[in-house]
Amino acid sequence: MLWETISVVRDLPRLHEIASVMIRYGGGDLVRVLGISGVLERAGRVLNWHSSSEISQLDAPVRVRRALEELGPTFIKLGQVLATRVDVFPPNWIAEFEKLHSRVPPVPYERLRPDLVEAIGGEPAEVFAEFDPEPLAAASIAQVHRATLKDGSRVVVKIRRPGIEGVIQADLRIMEHAARLLESEVPDSRRYDPVQIVSQFRRSLNRELDLAKEARNIDQFARHFADEPLVTIPRVYWEYTNDRVNVQEEIIGMAGVAPDKLRAHGLDPKLLAARGANAVLSMVLEHGYFHADPHPGNVLFLPENRLGMVDFGMVGMLTDVRRNQIVDLLHALTRKDEQALLQVLLDWSGESVGDEDRLAYDVAELMQSYDDLQLKDVKIGGLLNDITAVMRDNNLVLPADLTLLFKTLITLEGLGQQLDPEFHMIDHVTPFVEHVIQQRYTPQALLARGRKSMRETLEVLADVPRDLRRLLRDMRRGRVKVDLDLKRLDHFGNQLDRASNRLTMGILTASLVIGSSIIMTVKGGPQLFGLPFFGLLGFLIAFFNSIWIIFSIWRSGKH
């Protein structure tokens, strides 16, 4: 409790800024629910509880997006993560979150240079033959500069912005506290699982803060595409790369998706769209490790209709089990098999399906709406959006590792259609899915699965006697426990624990005051300022205890 108090006091200026922005954009009720207003008002900070008439006329998604932009890099990144939660937010919210960009004014080179010198172990002139102090690009986490190594290799140097880690960690502390309060005090928010969203965001942001992590991602993709001449992955120069600086090969190519401009440079947009789709689908369905942000700025078009991929800060990973589920989902979609699709959704939702019959009906209705369409006219993006809408209507949450995948497939289809208006994602998905399905039933695959199943079965059978003996022994000794996960009871228990702590401290404080008063009347013993030393010490401890109790009560909003 004491550490939380210190943390809140430390983050109070930022908390005031966040609360002010939320109130200005119509989030005053949320600020009150979270208890932020009480903390700030008691700290002597005045909040204006009225938003302007111009802002109040905006739609809720627009207000939230503008508030996130005003709150800065951490919240812009949060909005970008929320843009992947197509299972939680409807399309109009996703469209607004997608407008969030982390482009920010660059840090002046003179301010950046000390961090760069420390990270690379010397002055830029000692490491690079040339270094351009003008940034090539600037984002909320890092900015990029062009450079040339001593051997003539052209590279880009990605440098983390000075001081950004402290700002982000403060914002994350506030977000986690707000998410816990929101989930505890607003029952309707639990279907969105705000604590899990913030936890996912923390992991994502911490990975992005570590520029060496991005370098490891690049090396992983380079190994996967080592034998693929049509896809170029930049080389990492590890001798200059660490958590604050990432030095990698500069890929020279065309960015953007204007077909006429590509044709003018001798490139074939239709072929580029097909190769881009095949490259990302290979990452997803064959490697289980994929570039999670294949927007036009991260895909470069090279001579001979080759592709270059950059910016590997955001990647997704799928386990073998999850990859098989994705294949089953795509196979069900291409065959319009509602039972297979329903089974995949049930696997994802686990035990959280409230009304399985309603879910089955919604899936059947979904597939019915696609009956009159030919396979080539089915848009994967629209279909995935429809599936996530079914999940939202049934209060189901898409597993966190799949949110990036769905977003990637939707982004990829949009990129392909910008390059080629006749691009059909389903045409590229079907061959991959059929190939993976065929691979499942080869003699080698069947034999491997049989061996694995036999081994697991034997292991379970071998453990049965021991597990039964342990269970019976625990039952005889009364050690069998039943755990119930009731969040409201946990919250009540925490409140009761805090109340008992305050009561105990209050009793101790009163005892100290009474005891110190008695000591003050006793002559003799060590003295300070002419008064009994131990009496003064008791009063001093009682004073600080009183301050702690009062501040604790203020924080909880209890008077």
pLDDT over 50 (residue 46): no
The pair phi, psi for residue 527, each rounded to 5°, is -130, 155
- In order, the DSSP letters of 385-403 are HHHHHHHHHTT----HHHH
Distance CA 142, CA 165 (A): 11
Which has the higher per-residue pLDDT, 24 or 206?
A: 206
Can you tell me the mean pLDDT for 430-451? 80
User: Could you tell me which of 63, 66, 54, 67 has the C-alpha nearest to residue 18?
Assistant: 67
- pLDDT tens per residue, range 486-495: 555 566 566 6
**Which residues, other chains included, contact 457 with Cβ-Cβ below 8 Å and sequence gap of 6+?**
none
- pLDDT tens per residue, range 113-126: 999 999 998 899 99
Can you tell me the mean pLDDT for 455-472? 83
312 and 238 share one domain: no
342 and 391 share one domain: yes
Q: How many CB atoms lie within 10 A of CB 263?
A: 11
Task: Look up residue 71 and give its amino acid.
Answer: L
Distance CA 126, CA 110 (A): 17
Which has the higher per-residue pLDDT, 6 or 56?
A: 56
Which has the higher per-residue pLDDT, 123 or 508?
A: 123
Last-in-domain residue among 185, 215, 250: 250
In a domain, 445, yes or no: no
Please, are residues 338 and 367 in contact by the beta-carbon 8 Å criterion?
yes
Count how many domains the chain has.
4
Distance CA 219, CA 241 (A): 13
Q: Is 485 a catalytic residue?
A: no
- pLDDT tens per residue, range 67-110: 888 887 788 878 877 777 776 777 788 888 878 766 667 889 99
In a domain, 471, yes or no: no
- pLDDT tens per residue, range 244-284: 999 999 999 888 778 888 999 899 999 999 999 999 989 98
pLDDT of amino acid 492: 59
133 and 208 share one domain: yes
pLDDT of amino acid 509: 73
What is residue 184's three-state secondary structure?
helix
Burial of 295 (0-12, 13-18, 19+ CB in 10 A): middle
Burial of 253 (0-12, 13-18, 19+ CB in 10 A): middle
pLDDT of amino acid 307: 93
Strands 231-232 and 128-131: unpaired
pLDDT of amino acid 65: 86
pLDDT over 60 (residue 15): yes
pLDDT of amino acid 490: 60
In a domain, 482, yes or no: no
Least confident of 220-234, 244-258, 369-383, 396-410: 369-383
Structure tokens at 112: 């950046």
Average pLDDT, the chain: 79
Last-in-domain residue among 195, 228, 262: 195
Please, are residues 244 and 114 in contact by the beta-carbon 8 Å criterion?
no
Which has the higher per-residue pLDDT, 524 or 226?
A: 226
Please, are residues 47 and 38 in contact by the beta-carbon 8 Å criterion?
no
340 and 202 share one domain: no
Query: To the nearest whole percent, how much of the chain has pLDDT over 70?
Result: 80
Please, are residues 80 and 97 in contact by the beta-carbon 8 Å criterion?
yes
301 and 338 share one domain: yes
Distance CA 159, CA 144 (A): 6
Distance CA 115, CA 121 (A): 10
285 and 203 share one domain: no
Task: Look up residue 447 and give its amino acid.
Answer: L
In a domain, 518, yes or no: yes
| Catalytic, out of 87, 171, 293, 311 | 293
pLDDT over 50 (residue 43): no
pLDDT of amino acid 1: 40
379 and 506 share one domain: no
* Region label for 305, one of left (φ > 0), alpha (ψ between -120 and 50) or beta (otherwise): left
In a domain, 453, yes or no: no
115 and 238 share one domain: yes
Distance CA 141, CA 102 (A): 8
156 and 289 share one domain: no
- Which residues share a beta bridge with 157? 145, 247
In a domain, 542, yes or no: yes
- Which residue intervals of 370-485 are DSSP H helices? 380-393, 400-419, 425-440, 443-476
In a domain, 160, yes or no: yes
Can you tell me the mean pLDDT for 439-450? 80
pLDDT of amino acid 352: 63
- Domain of 52, in residue numbers: 2-102+177-195
Q: How far is CA 244 from CA 117, 209, 233, in A?
A: 11, 8, 21
Widest pairwise Cα distance in the chain: 102
Can you tell me the mean pLDDT for 496-509? 71
In a domain, 234, yes or no: yes
258 and 404 share one domain: yes
- Which residues share a beta bridge with 128? 149
Structure tokens at 159: 């440098």
273 and 294 share one domain: yes
pLDDT of amino acid 314: 81
* Region label for 426, one of left (φ > 0), alpha (ψ between -120 and 50) or beta (otherwise): alpha
68 and 172 share one domain: no
Which has the higher per-residue pLDDT, 219 or 93?
A: 219
Long-range CB pairs of 32-35 (<8 Å, 24+ gap) are: 33/181, 33/182, 33/185, 33/186, 34/178, 34/181, 34/182, 34/185, 35/181, 35/555, 35/556, 35/557
Which has the higher per-residue pLDDT, 104 or 417?
A: 417
Please, are residues 292 and 314 in contact by the beta-carbon 8 Å criterion?
yes
